[in-house]
Every structure is written in C-alpha cells, then in structure tokens.
Amino acid sequence: MNAVPPDAAVASSDRLRITEIFLSLQGEARAIGWPTVFVRLTGCPLRCQYCDTAYAFHGGEWWQIDDILAEVARHGARHVCVTGGEPLSQKRCISLLKRLCDEGYDVSLETSGAIDIADVDPRVSRVLDIKTPGSMEVHRNLWSNLPLLTPHDQVKFVICSREDFDWAKDVVAEHRLTDVCDVLFSPSFAQIKPSDLADWIVAERLPVRFQLQLHKILWNDEPGR
Ligand code: SF4
C-alpha cells in the first residue's frame, strides 16, 4: 500500500477493498506512457497461469470512495486506471468509476472479460481481456460483453503460443472486433519471444496493435511501479 489507509472504523456502504494506489506511467493500451494514478482493487475470481498481480487476490484495506478520490487527487495526474485483480468483482467499482469521471479524470478500466461490463460509465475506456486457451481461463470469457464494446474501448489478448495466436486471430475475425475498437496483442511475458509475435502479426497483416508492457521493461514489474 502506497498510502496511509483511512480510518477503518468509519462504516459505509461506499467502501471498496484496495490493494494499492500509486502513481506511475501507464504501461500498456492506448494511454501508454502517460503519468497515471493506478487504483488496484483487491480480489479476482480467475487464476490465469501468467498472472502478474496475484498479490492482489487477497488482503488489501477497506477505503471509502471519498478517501480514494482524495488520494487520487493528491497525486495530481489527469489519467486514472482502475485495475486489479478483477475490479468489477467488487460491485461498488461501478460507483467509483462514475465518481472519477465526474471529477473530470481520463479514466480507464482493466477488466478480465469475465464479468458484465454493461453498467460501466460510458465515459470510461474499458480495456477488456479476452482470455486465450493458454491462459487456462478461456472458459471464463463472457461473450455477451463483446456487443457492448464501442470505439472508446479496447480489447486485449495475451498470447502464450502460436496456437493462442491462431485462436485469437479467429476470434477477432468472427466477432469483427477490429471494426469496433482497437485490438491489442501482447506476448505473455517470458512465454513466447516478443519478436515471434511481432513477426506473426506482420506476416498475416493483422489489423491489431502489438504491444509490450512498458512497466516490465522499465521496472521489471515491481509492485507499485
Ligand atoms: S484476470 Fe487478471 S488479475 Fe485475475 S488472474 Fe487473470 S491476470 Fe490475474
């Protein structure tokens, strides 16, 4: 936790369980490179084999939404990313997202794709994962989320193998995802060579964006960076 938690004795229905709030650079997706405040919510019902935030599965501290907003404001950045874990596994995440938008932040949400996104404020840019077979959580994809996507959103595939790449390519084509929003392909860290994925995308002329996670290159994925 990068900040002092609020008074735990204050009871309210406006509380969320938070693992950490910190300022860093956005490491991926459309807002890559912007100074960004990350609000990492605790808990996730999935167990992707490559998960790099397992420390957010448990623990955390209860925060009032007002206190979260004050902590975000203290960092003084325009971009805010609500992440996890799976942030939508806490229902009050919907209220937090709305309040952040009302405050005028440029808000993004990183979500696993396993939970309904229908109630997320339309001002939020939703970065929706589609879990590949290599993640070991492909059965968790909530396909009914896909028709809800808009050009303000983004879809992300973490690719673990050539088989994953071919599977993802078919999903993109079947759902015409590139007609709707940006589609991002990332190599699973240390599982395939990034250059192999880049070569496959170029060879197939896929209209998707290759991305490497900037925070892993800069800081080797330290928590809180
Ligand atoms: S959805 Fe995200 S936080 Fe949850 S297990 Fe998968 S990678 Fe980890």
24 is a domain residue:
yes
* CATH number of the CATH domain containing 66: 3.20.20.70
Q: Which residue's alpha carbon is nearest to atom 5 within ligand 1?
A: 47
Instruction: Decide if 225 is inside a domain.
Output: no
Verify cis geometry, omega within 30 degrees of 0, for the bond prior to 76: no
pLDDT the model gives residue 9: 43
Is residue 6 situated within a structural domain?
no
CA end-to-end span of the chain = 12
Distance 9 CA to ligand 1 centre (A): 30
Domain extent for 191 = 15-219
Considering the entire predicted model, what is its pTM? 0.92
Domain count, the chain: 1
The reply to whether 38 falls in a domain is yes
The percent of residues in the chain predicted with pLDDT above 70, rounded, is 93
Using DSSP's 3-state secondary structure scheme, residue 94 falls into helix
* Structural domain includes residue 211: yes
User: Would 172 be classed as within a structural domain?
Assistant: yes
Nearest to 81 by CA among 139, 21, 134: 21
Residue nearest to atom 6 of ligand 1 (CA): 48
Pairing of strands 15-25, 35-41: antiparallel
Within the chain, which residues score under 70 in pLDDT? 1-12, 221, 223-225
For position 223, what pLDDT does the model report?
Answer: 67
Q: Establish if 3 belongs to a structural domain.
A: no
User: Using CA positions, which residue lies closest to atom 3 of ligand 1?
Assistant: 85
